[in-house]
Amino acid sequence: MSLRQIISTHRLAGWVSGSLLALGATFALVAHGTAETAVAIPAPAMDEPAPSGATSETAVLSGGCFWGVQAVFQHVKGVHRVVSGYSGGAKDTASYQQVSTGRTGHAESVEVTFDPRLVSYGTILQVYFSVAHNPTELNRQGPDTGTQYRSAVFAANDAQKEVAEAYVAQLDKAGVFAHPIVTKISPLTAFYPAEDYHQDYATRHPENPYIAFNDLPKVDNLSRLFPALYTPKAKLVSAGTTN
């Protein structure tokens, strides 16, 4: 069980103490060294064509703990809604307790609903590869390990698949990362929303050392590297769909 799973399970049970969280933060620092740093990367050379009347599109992405990935995209202009959940496995095993075993085939994922007139799918991927996670880590992100934390793009259609594959090839050829990208691009079969207590977690628990150390820096990196895309107010699941 990862540090994050321990914190989440204990918080759900209602008996996480401040001392345990402080100990967890120290463990994360020792185990991983520093929080992931963002990498400035070029925009995708290939993107989806301009939409003809469409006002909504979804992207399903996995990149480690869904708390932090959700938090990043909740601050992106043009994004309507971001839901934490599970993709890659069956409906009957789409629960946190089962996914956390790493044996269900699921990855912790986020479903990003966005307006393609305001932010393109390619730009969503640029944020994903640059800020939301490290695409060169295999079956892990930061202090969390297991296939449920893998880097994965679940393409909703052929256009998304082509854009994602071309972008990975572009970034690898440019050598913007020190190691090859390991992101797996697969067809989207289903997305299952996670339990309510996981939604908007980073915004609701900024004092959690795991969030402060691993996730809030990602939001800061978004504002620094993508100032034109950044919006200070998070679009929360609990607040409903907003622009």
Whether 234 maps to a domain, the answer reads no
Place of tokens 């200070």: 232
Give the total number of structural domains in the chain: 1
Assess if residue 236 is contained within a domain. Answer: no
| Catalytic-labelled residue, pool 3, 65, 132, 188 | 65
Q: Is residue 103 part of a domain?
A: yes
**Position 235 in a domain:** no
Give the Cα separation of 112 and 60 in Å (integer): 6
**Per-residue confidence at 17, pLDDT binned at 50, 70, 90?**
very low
Q: Is 112 a catalytic residue?
A: no
Residues of the domain holding 65: 3-47+54-229
- Give the pLDDT score at 53: 85
CATH code: domain of residue 126: 3.30.1060.10
pLDDT mean across residues, the chain = 88
Helices (H) and strands (E) in the chain, counts: 9, 8
Structural domain includes residue 238: no
| Residue at 30 is within a domain | yes
- What does the block give as tokens for 4? 């994050």
Q: What percent of the chain has pLDDT over 70?
A: 84
Q: H or E element: which one contains 63?
A: strand 57-63
